[in-house]
Amino acid sequence: MELPLRGPRRMSDPLNLFCTTPKGMEPLLATELEALGAVGIEPATAGVGCRGDLEVAYRICLWSRTANRLLLSLARFPAETPEALYAGILAIDWATHMGPDDTLAVDANVSNSLITHSRYAALKVKDAIVDQFRERHGRRPSVDTEQPSLRINVYIYRDQARLSLDLSGESLHRRGYRAHNTPAPLKENLAAAILLRAGWPAIAERGGALVDPMCGSATLPIEAALMAGDVAPGLLRQYYGFLGWRGHDIERWKALRQEAEARRLAGAGRIPPIFGFDADAQAVKLALDNVAAAGLQGKVHVERRDARDLRAMARMQAHPGLVVVNPPYGERIGRDSDLPQLYYELGQMLQREFRDWHAALFTGNPPLARNLGIRSQETWTLYNGAIECKLLNYRLSEDMFISVPEPSPRARSRERDLAPAALGTRTAGAGMLANRLQKNLKNLGRWARQQGVDCYRLYDADLPEYAIALDLYQGDQLWAHVQEYEAPATIDPDKADARLRDALGVIPEVLGIPPEQVFLKVRQRQKGKAQYERKQEHGAFYPVRDSAARCWVNFTDYLDTGLFLDHRLTREMIGRMAQDKRFLNLFCYTGVATVHAALGGARSTVSVDMSRTYLDWARRNLRLNDCADAKHELVQADCLAWLEEAAQQASPWQGFDLIFLDPPTFSTSKRMEQTWEVQRDHVRVIRQAMQLLTPAGVLLFSTNFRKFKLDTERLAELDIEDISRRTLPQDFSRNPRIHQCWLLRHRQGA
């Protein structure tokens, strides 16, 4: 058992420290800690242990570019029961660390232990501390979860508790130049890791420039300037966890800050040209605000410009530099745009304008990087939250360029030209596909009849050779909707066409329907208004049943049919929850969720979408269910702008009791005032939606981005319940990541 610290140490006393960092960044952090004077460095998963005196701890907080938190170990002891945990905390003389009039917060994490609830563990730790003060002083510290005098960290693993003081107080990636509620593509320490792995310090020392063609809120350019100018990343921070600790040495901390300020002034002249560009006016505004807050006006140039239009940038610089870019990497389905063309055009721009430069591309979807047409020199694995990403480094020279075809969606005329393969002309795999369809129809068909499900997914690329999704829609007759997944560039197009003809021949035979009731949809890249407009002019709509609701579907004219089948259970849940509720449906699409709310007894509904096409469709769906009256309002607006304005005017007592927020993964429509990425922007939008929610209301948030990670740390003020499994229909059980869903509520008493 490690003896607890009994009081503040002398400046020279060794301290046991543990510095946390995102996965993949541990080697970078270990190198940093050694340079800052730490010894006994021991890398671990998502962190590095080390030893050092109080000055070393201060230097880590002030100078580490890759760390999250710095923990000072206080004690380790057995904690098999809540009583043992309480006793272990009570054994520490807390008066040597804080006073009864100070504030505290407790962060707890539990793994593989008899104590299973982190919140309960945190509560027991807090109780032990305040009970000790109440018994000795007759009064107790209060709780402050934002900026406490002392933040305590307890980690219980296999019934052993490790107790620490959080000297950082809040994550060190928060440099102080960005408002906490400002959406950012990257956390600052991840941006620093990207730059370090890309070799930016050496390039900057040679005088090479940096260009970020998709800078967003300028995280990468700002971190690059801080690095090149020898600016301590923590110099702007006003709060650290040690500032309220009784072991804090005020004079030594003041001296270290003065030293850092002197280094900043000396390094200002060494910052090379740094440029950030973005096509989004709102992002540029945020970037300029951040540059000013960082004190880098005149050092970092930010401008509104499309990433694919950076002519002569390289030729304006004295020395070849670094192009670093973090483009969107979501998986585009349904209303979302896809990205191969964007990566292709980015690669063409790099090859044309930045010969002899270095480039670094950070992406969570590495296959997209093939469209750049450039051979990478090295690849690093880093994590953006829970998303495993790759950093690919390039040298932009002729011998590294690869000829790649421009990604071009197969012409929609193929939907008419691809005739079903006759029985004698099918490939050898056609029988295998027929057998799988018959098996699925037997099992899922029985399930659908028992559950009263009329529209469901029968097949979803079960066989890799036949990469299609097949959905069945039962109305006054049976329709089959076939969606072809785009084949990889390595697949012979003729072979892919032959397999698709197989499918078009086999499907009507297995289902026992004429070929005219089988509709083929080929996915293609959509731009701007095209993602909302008609693709053909057949005008054929068919009524189908979606649980208690009826709705119109269209198999030919639009990218989707008008009914997202994977959200069947989600819509049923909305119907059950909507009784006497005021319901808001954001990004409402064709309004089927609104219909369920109306049929469930909603007092009123508001449905918002940017597309008049979808709103007209929603209006028809409401009429089909005899729900088209004044209490069901349809609003045509950019949802992001509408939500921001509504949140500013919100009164929780007059807001909505139930909100459904199911945004696209990525959008760049010209009718939107800003770009949208669900991973980057979800915290801001969820908080705005929560401002429209009554105190006892419920927000249902959903996304189809398969690599999405809800930022629970930044949404810690909310009660969050993951209901993804509960909303996964049986016909999508083979694809459990088809969507993720959460229920979010205001924390009672918060």
Please, what's the b/e burial string for 11-35 (b: 16 or more CB within 10 A of its CB; e: otherwise)?
A: eeeebbbbbbbbebbbbbbbebbee
- What is the DSSP secondary-structure string of 75-107? EEEE-SSHHHHHHHHHTS-GGGT--TTSEEEEE
Residue 342 — very low, low, confident or very high, per pLDDT cuts 50/70/90?
confident
Q: Provide the sign of the torsion angle of the four alpha carbons 272, 277, 281, 283, taken in this order.
A: negative
Please, what's the b/e burial string for 541-577 (b: 16 or more CB within 10 A of its CB; e: otherwise)?
A: bbebebbebbbbbbbbbbbbbbbbbbbbbbbbbbbeb
Rounded to whole angstroms, the Cα distance separating 426 from 255 reads: 80
Residue 170: what residue type? E
Tens-digit pLDDT profile for residues 270-310? 999 999 999 888 889 999 999 999 999 999 999 998 877 78
Q: Which two tokens stand for residue 634?
A: 């349809």
Q: How many residues does the chain have?
A: 750
CATH homologous superfamily for 188-229+273-400? Vaccinia Virus protein VP39 (3.40.50.150)
Residue 649 — very low, low, confident or very high, per pLDDT cuts 50/70/90?
confident
Lowest mean pLDDT among 72-81, 133-142, 177-186: 177-186
DSSP H or E stretch at residue 676: strand 676-677
Query: pTM above 0.85?
Result: no
How big is the CA angle at 451 (ends 448 and 456), to the nearest 5 degrees?
35
Mean pLDDT of 647-671: 77
The answer to whether the 188-229+273-400 and 553-746 domains have the same CATH topology is yes
Q: Give first-to-last CA distance, the chain, whole Å.
A: 37
Nearest-CA neighbor of 204 among 298, 64, 301, 319?
319
Residue 488 — very low, low, confident or very high, per pLDDT cuts 50/70/90?
low
Question: Domain spanning 421-525 has what CATH number?
Answer: 3.30.750.80
Rounded to whole angstroms, the Cα distance separating 290 from 501 reads: 55
Is residue 608 pLDDT above 70, yes or no? yes
Nearest-CA neighbor of 328 among 348, 313, 342?
342
Mean pLDDT of 401-419: 60
Q: Which residue has the higher pLDDT, 38 or 522?
A: 38
Is residue 337 pLDDT above 80, yes or no? no
Lowest mean pLDDT among 102-106, 150-154, 638-642, 669-673: 669-673
Is residue 131 pLDDT above 50, yes or no? yes
Rounded to whole angstroms, the Cα distance separating 354 from 356 reads: 6
DSSP designation for 483: E
Half-sphere exposure of 204 (CA within 13 A, CB side): 25
% of residues, the chain, pLDDT over 70? 88
Residue 254 — very low, low, confident or very high, per pLDDT cuts 50/70/90?
very high
Q: Check residue 667 and give its pLDDT.
A: 72
Q: What are the strands of the beta sheet with 718-722, ordered from one edge?
A: 632-636, 604-609, 582-586, 656-661, 693-703, 740-746, 718-722
Q: Which residues pair with 659 in a beta bridge?
A: 584, 699
Q: In the chain, what are the domain boundaries?
A: 15-166, 188-229+273-400, 421-525, 553-746
Angle, to 10 degrees, between the axis of helix 250-267 and the axis of helix 54-63? 40
Q: Which residue has the higher pLDDT, 528 or 655?
A: 655
Are the C-beta atoms of residues 540 and 458 closer than 8 Å to each other? Answer: no
Q: Which residues pair with 478 in a beta bridge?
A: 474
Q: What are the strands of the beta sheet with 478-484, ordered from one edge?
A: 455-460, 468-474, 478-484, 518-522
Q: Check residue 535 and give its pLDDT.
A: 44
Q: Which two tokens stand for residue 447?
A: 């399930």
Q: Check residue 491 and give its pLDDT.
A: 67
Rounded to whole angstroms, the Cα distance separating 246 from 95 reads: 9
Number of other residues whose CB lies within 10 A of the CB of residue 91: 13
Rounded to whole angstroms, the Cα distance separating 622 from 552 reads: 10
Is residue 532 pLDDT above 60, yes or no? no
Helices (H), 184-236: 188-197, 200-205, 219-228
Question: Domain spanning 553-746 has what CATH number?
Answer: 3.40.50.150
3-state secondary structure of 304: strand
Residue 659 — very low, low, confident or very high, per pLDDT cuts 50/70/90?
very high
Q: Check residue 331 and give its pLDDT.
A: 42
Domain made up of 15-166: CATH architecture? 2-Layer Sandwich (3.30)
Rounded to whole angstroms, the Cα distance separating 619 from 234 reads: 54
Q: Check residue 539 and give its pLDDT.
A: 60
Q: Which two tokens stand for residue 592?
A: 């089927």
Tens-digit pLDDT profile for residues 413-465? 344 456 777 666 788 889 999 999 999 999 999 999 999 999 999 999 899 88
Q: Check residue 411 and give its pLDDT.
A: 35
Q: Which residues pair with 519 in a beta bridge?
A: 481
Task: Give Rg (Cα) of the chain.
Answer: 29
Q: Which residue has the higher pLDDT, 384 or 659?
A: 659
Give a three-class secondary structure readout of 556-621: CCCCCCCCCHHHHHHHHHHHHHCCCCEEEEECCCCCHHHHHHHHCCCCEEEEEECCHHHHHHHHHH
Are the C-beta atoms of residues 394 and 376 closer than 8 Å to each other? Answer: yes
Q: Are strands 387-395 and 378-384 parallel, antiparallel or unpaired?
A: antiparallel
Are the C-beta atoms of residues 157 and 79 closer than 8 Å to each other? Answer: no
